[in-house]
Structure 1
Amino acid sequence: MKFLIAPDSFKESMSARQACVAIDKAIKAELPDAETILLPMADGGEGTLPVLVSALDGNVEAIEVSGPLAYAKETETSEQPMVNAQIGILSDDTAVIEMAEAAGLHLVPTEKRNPELTTTFGVGQMILHALDLGIRHFLIALGGSATNDGGLGMLTALGAKAQDKSGTALAPTGGNLKSVVRLDVSALDPRLADCQFMLACDVDNPLTGATGASAIFGPQKGATPEQVTALDQGLENWAEILNETYGRQIKDIPGSGAAGGLSAAFLAAFDTSLKPGIEQVLDIVEFDQKCADVDWVITGEGSLDGQSLAGKTPVGVARRAKQFEIPVVAFAGRLGDGYEAVYEEGIDLALSITPEGMPLEQALAEAENNICNSTRVLIQLLFSSETTQVE
């Protein structure tokens, strides 16, 4: 029996690699002679960098950049808070940049989450560092953002200036997008003209509107209903400014709302392609080739719900596996509203690893143990004549 183990990370509890190892351990405990292939996955969100660096024998550069709160009001008169970020350098001289390394939600304490104040400035600094290394090809992993600044912070770090009606330069935060009347790109780093950016995106939301960046993702970043409305109006204005500056109307492009609209700035300003992150990762790690002679595929991530169809790892993995008629099991920390739709996309069985009634904090702390136990039970049910009893 041969298993391909290809989960994403389980947010706030275990990495994709940790999930792989736990599942593998459980399979071997029940089926000692089973063959396994461990293939940690990512979909363009957090965790994409280590997956690609490992798959392509790359290396990691560690740098210090401005964090998402660099322009928060309470820090405007003090030193800008810095964060440690990693950039992946692949063997083909492509830089892998996870925007969450510099502007991720995990970098903002819950009580300080406010997408009117956060910035992607540090993402631009990561790009500058790669430019200094001679890199001209970039894969930008969008996901896990704390921001709603439409990429203004990133462009500012690269030399652009957003100005209000009086000509004053604005701090590059989501709350200031509504006040931008001109984007001065005369000092934009000239090396960017020679660059190509490939965006790995795990959502297909447009920039604005009812399914846009502010409405769908603003609340989880700390936005109140009133702020969601203001932020969406700001992105509407920002889309027009980008169009006036670059001659590209991007607000309705699927995926332009990714990472608080960071995707929109790339699409407007640079030589950029946008593709579902899971498809890019599946190709890079040679998923199709690894399916040869596989009997089962096991995947998963922290949550399975109706949104899982929009570019998330388990569904992407299942769609590919079904091309080879391989049955797919997906584990999740939780099964949310509308998760049943995954059964139409190639997943044969979706299972929650969290025991009923277990508090969230405990479930996060015991995720590896939970996925191990769930895998053992699954293997026993599937192969009862070949397995041993759980101790």
Structure 2
Amino acid sequence: MVLGRQRRQIMKILIAIDSFKGSLSSKEAGEAIKSGILRVIPDAEVLISPLADGGEGTVETLVEALGGSLETVRVKGPLFQEAEAHYGILSDSQYSPKDEKLAVMEMSQASGITLVSPEERNPLKTGSYGVGEMILDAYHKGCRRFLIGIGGSATNDGGIGMLSALGFRFSKENGEEISPIGEGLKDLAGIENASVPEGLLQCSFQIACDVENPLYGENGASLIYGFQKGGNKELLSQMDLWMKHYSELVKEYNPAANPEAPGSGAAGGLGFAFRSFLQGELKSGVSLILEETKLSKKMQGADLVITGEGRLDEQSAMGKAPIGVAKLAKTQGIPVIAFAGTVTEGAKACNQAGIDAYFPILREITTLEDAMNKETAKQNLADTVEQAIRLYRLQHKKQ
């Protein structure tokens, strides 16, 4: 009986904090927080769970925290230039049911806008072929589950580039294959899947997508995102008509295809392609990461949850990773505190979104370069956490 009481008295604290971009990874920030906690409560049970939002840094975060491998593959970039893409493979059965390997990818590694200089950006000439090559590489390495973030695309090809690399065939009226780039859509007349590996169609695709645009129309892929990819109004209006025609042909191939479904216009139509050809499921990036890392289960019995990111502001309250953590914690009645490199006046909205209190970690007036220095940031984070936990422990004892 005594031992049972002692076990229950041990405080359990769960840490799920996003990276401080340019300074600390999610894991590094978590370890710094843990050290601050243990200064005050040496016998605390402290769990660190990786956190990301499906965008840049997601692959590194999950691979580093969950013990996966980082893979490198040569692919065709947006303009069919040689590019080196990285993705992660996780095989731990805790994260991959049925011991299936999980591939974690960022579309931007192969078809991102940062791979094309501003003067070369042209939605007619860019394509998503490299994304398909990345998927195929992981498939041949045994992956049957895919988690893919599709933010930051340079393309507006409806996903035909990716699909072409996977073995789908898109043809003109005369039977010739179209170019797997944006302007190829204008000649599209037929769709076949005879060359797609049979097993690929049985794979699971979870797509991290945080936009809700349809495939075409005034809020579609071309007319909303095409300008930043190098298009002008006249060109993009024409491409929008090609997208509509494309969707009509896809509906003949798959009657369940829905160009109006939220997220179909993401990444130049890649969202529509994943749904229509690979039975992909589009979800918020934060939700997918929280599910894959089993955060809800890890939270069970926790006395406190700690989250945060490099900068807390009004945008943080609109569904970014720390708010996803806070909402999950609130379903279990667990208090939440957050730490950030800096906070703005607008961060007050985070209190209404589930974060009970937040703290900036800067300790003195300094330069941005010094503040973002890895060792300085670790020290500042650990020291700030220590003081917050001292206050929390004092309050906890009174209850």
Deviates more, 1:347-356 or 1:243-252: 347-356
Q: Which amino acid in structure 2 is aligned with residue 82 of structure 1?
A: A
Change (3 A) 1:244 1:330: farther
State which structure, 1 or 2, has the greater radius of gyration over its C-alpha atoms: 2
Residue pairs, 1:1-391, within 5 angstroms: 2-28=12-38, 35-53=45-63, 58-70=68-80, 80-91=81-92, 92-98=99-105, 99-109=107-117, 112=120, 115-163=123-171, 169-174=177-182, 176=183, 179-192=186-199, 194-208=201-215, 209=217, 212-214=220-222, 232=240, 235-302=243-310, 304=312, 308=316, 312-332=320-340, 340-350=348-358, 362=369, 365-366=372-373, 369-370=376-377, 372-373=379-380, 376-377=383-384, 379-380=386-387, 383=390
Distance in 2 between residues matched to 1:172 and 1:355, nearest whole Å: 53
Matches of 2:391 and 2:304 in 1, distance apart?
16
Q: Which moved more, 1:44-53 or 1:262-271?
A: 44-53
- Partners of 2:27 and 2:65 within 8 A in 1: no
2:60–2:88 contact (8 Å) kept in structure 1 = no
The code of the aligned residue for 2:186 comes to S
- Structure 2 residue identity aligned to 1:369: T
CA contact (8 A) 2:370 2:376 kept: no
Inter-CA distance 181–351: structure 2 relative to 1 (3 Å threshold): farther
* 8 Å CA contact 1:89, 1:96 repeated in 2: yes
Q: What residue in structure 2 maps to residue 77 of structure 1?
A: none
> Is contact 1:201–1:258 with CA below 8 Å preserved after alignment?
no
How far apart, CA to CA, are the structure 1 residues paired with 2:242 and 2:342? 34
- Report the CA distance shift for 1:357/1:231 in structure 2 as closer, same or farther (over 3 A): farther
CA distance in 2, matches of 1:379, 1:219: 47
Native 8 Å contact 1:354 1:363 kept in 2? no
Q: Distance in 1 between matches of 2:342 and 2:78?
A: 29
Q: How many residues align?
A: 376
Moved more, 152-161 or 105-114: 105-114
Mapped to 2, the partners of 1:337 and 1:291 lie a distance apart of 29
How many Å apart are 1:31 and its aligned residue? 6.1
Offset at 1:153? 1.4
CA distance in 2: counterparts of 1:53 and 1:88, whole angstroms: 7
Where 2:288 maps in the other structure, the secondary structure is helix
Give the aligned partner of residue 76 of structure 1. none
Give CA-to-partner distance per residue, 1:355-390, whole Å, 9 cap, x none.
Answer: 99988x748954773475256335425635989xxx
> Cα 1:324–1:135, aligned 2, differ >3 Å: closer, same or farther?
closer
Change in CA separation of 1:196 and 1:334 when aligned onto 2, cut-off 3 Å = farther
Distance in structure 2 (CA, Å) of the matches to 1:68 and 1:214: 16
- Cα displacement (A) at 1:205: 1.3
Measured in 1, the distance between the counterparts of 2:346 and 2:248 equals: 35
Normalised TM-score (structure 1): 0.76
**TM-score, normalization by structure 2:** 0.75
Whole-Å separation in 2 of the counterparts to 1:274 and 1:373: 38
Q: Structure 2, unaligned stretches of length 5 or more? A: 1-10, 93-98, 395-399
CA distance, structure 2, for counterparts of residue 351 and residue 228 of structure 1? 45
Secondary structure, counterpart of 1:383 in structure 2: helix
Give the Cα–Cα distance (whole angstroms) in 2 for the partners of residues 266 and 371 of structure 1.
Answer: 40
Unaligned runs of 5+ in 1: 71-79
Offset, 1:267 = 0.5
Letter in 1 for 2:110: A
How far is the alpha carbon of 1:201 from its aligned partner? 1.6
Check whether the contact 2:307–2:337 (CA below 8 A) recurs between aligned residues: yes
Q: Percent identity?
A: 39
Any conservation in 2 of the 1:151–1:261 contact (CA below 8 Å)?
A: yes
Q: Distance in 2 between matches of 1:261 and 1:269?
A: 12
Write the distance in 2 (CA, Å) between the matches of 1:325 and 1:85. Answer: 39
1:6: how far off? Answer: 0.8
- 1:299 counterpart SS class: strand
